[in-house]
Structure 1
Amino acid sequence: MTGVELPPLGLYLHLPWCTRKCPYCDFNSHAAGDTPPYDDYLQALLRDLELELARADGRLIDTVFIGGGTPSLFPVAAIESVLTALLPRLQSGAEITMEANPGSAEAERFRGYREAGVNRLSLGVQSFDNALLQRLGRVHDRSQALDAVDAAREAGFSAINLDLMYGLPEQSLDQALADLDQALALGTDHLSHYQLTLEPNTVFFAKPPALPDPDTRAEMQLQCQRRLQAVGLAQYEISAYARPGRQCRHNLNYWRFGDYLAAGAGAHGKLTDSAGNIHRYRKVKVPALYMARMARGTADVEPRRLQTDDRILEFMMNALRLNAGFPVALFSQRTGLDFELVRPVLDRLLEDGLLQTDGARYRTTRLGRDHLDTILAEFLPDDGNAA
């Protein structure tokens, strides 16, 4: 094992409540009800954050992502308290993203979030079609989505991501393209564009809606990608498109196998120590249990140190999601392993037409991008291969 160069450090903060739970959502989110314990949760989160900053051992934070749930349900003062606590440990020019719903109540707080230090907003639009929004169980409508983009710009946000889905219940190809055209008409510089999937432990999984057939979903993806490319939003990850310089730095750090602290119920973290050991950990998932555990000390559960096989698989699982793939040097820098450990597997994937290389960088081909699970299976430790 070679020495590990410490990667950039991010921070993920999880705020777990939504107005109501969407039927397709498998995230750790909970319907807010009448009186979510925002104040108690904030105190637990601030204590958690204090412990996380100590864990970082003086390293500065380059990116922050406030996710959920719907973080924009939290009062501005709560977000300001968190970012004030972080301020001494933030790199100059740190990217600070917050997820938000396009509902009118949340949009009224956008200026306050911007003044508190949030500089990138991610709006969960999903669709601009009212009938499709109802089928998805969303609490906003088309008008509120359009108004939210305007409100974000008026609040001073220049970096705005729109979340948009396709392959929705009973959605036609024309409807999918109309949704995309509306997003493009708003002048977005970053789009998260992904296909609806039916995840276990969701309402849609238990009672599947009528989805477009596989050929229609494939045509939606192909035609949308062509339109995005034509207007200068380049695909840089499987579901992410951006104009030059507008990529999400926080997510890029994930995909480049960087480090990130974690605070909040169910949040996951990854940290490399000065000896080159790579650790993963997570927090208790249930908000009430998380708050109780934090009151007694810590909510950490299941910490583990990544072994060689873990490092290889997790690096490839992340880096090969990127259209640009990864430089050969990055593999050793982030895993601490000799590149020759994986070269035989990469050579086989090159022969199969799933990867391409110029000698200094490996990336998926178009075929490989469509069969990423097949590629990753080659790196599973029980395959008997060099990885």
Structure 2
Amino acid sequence: MPVVSHKGKAMPESPIRKLAPFAEKAVKEGKHIFHLNIGQPDIKTPIEALHAIRNNNIEVLAYSHSAGFESFRKKLAGYYAKHDITISSDDILVTTGGSEALIFTMGSITDPGDEIIVPEPFYANYYSFSTQSNIKVIPVISKLEDGFALPKISEFEKLISEKTKAILICNPGNPTGYLYSKEEIKQLAALAKKYDLFLISDEVYREFVYDDSQHYSILQERTLDDHAIIVDSVSKRYSMCGARIGCLVSKNKSVIETAMKFAQARLSPPTIAQIASEAALEAPESYYKETVKKYKERRDTLITELNKIEGVKVATPKGAFYCIAELPVKDADHFAQWMLDKFDLNNQTVMLAPASGFYSSPDQGKNQVRIAYVLNTKDLKKSAEIIKFALKKYNNQ
């Protein structure tokens, strides 16, 4: 009998979606689930994007250019200019989601056996994409007690070898919500230049920063042009997860030219979704302000309620819409499954993402969960109440 590949066997399950069968079973049993496991915003998509789809009179749904529509890329360059990032449309490659931008990046800058250094916990698919690319993730651990701040640069230097090709960060972070400071970005930039590495920054949550904080992009570092690669997406910014449109941005011409070959191999990003994404760039500034205001209120509500639960520890995120919470349990995977399979409070329960799947280091994050605060404040309060009662019952068994 033919067998699947070792690479296929090594592909990790999604910590965000692996509990879906238990959730489906719970729904069939009549339970209502509060979904805190996945970053699916309930914020409305900009009306400009929806109108662009509804009012379009396309008669032939044709391919676009492999790099994406030039009109879209020019508007994206204008968007970045508003964020003090000076690039041209030729520095942008439109991709099928930020996921494809990451896959193209890894394919363009690494060979099998190469290594990239990533602060962990990290977005789970970084590990999946690296497995797909036959490269190795080398983790440098950030800690909850430090608010998941950037580890000391000396910790990165210890891990650099002749196989190291890049450092990858998410800013603001998924799953931690940590926002790297300007000084931390400068430290990473200096390290990338010192060892001639690429610095990749996943900046899909750029707008979502709180407490008067400011996002600082790696492409604002003027001396980093040859080293910097940005991964971006419309999914969270415009609540358009289903559009699957992202982009790879770099002023390194060799990177763009190489990634273009991967882009040509998949032909083109989806046409209708590009039309919607281009139109979304016309959304007024008030759209961002209202969205950030809502997420800040949700963050404050969730952190306040979690801090009321005995034994729970949580770092206050400064960006994105996630936090990592440490629970008074030994196995958060088992607890999260148990909440769906064996527990309810007035026929309601909560779905969480076990945080162990956001680490590549063995035995890390076993008692942690990632929580996405994408629900309204009333539902977040109810969810925290359910978690409180669930923990009490679980630990008394």
The TM-score bracket by the shorter chain reads under 0.3
Q: Which of 1 and 2 has higher RCO (CA within 8 Å, sep 6+)?
A: 2
Q: TM-score normalized by structure 1?
A: 0.27
Higher strand share: 1
Task: Name the TM-score, length of structure 2 as normaliser.
Answer: 0.26
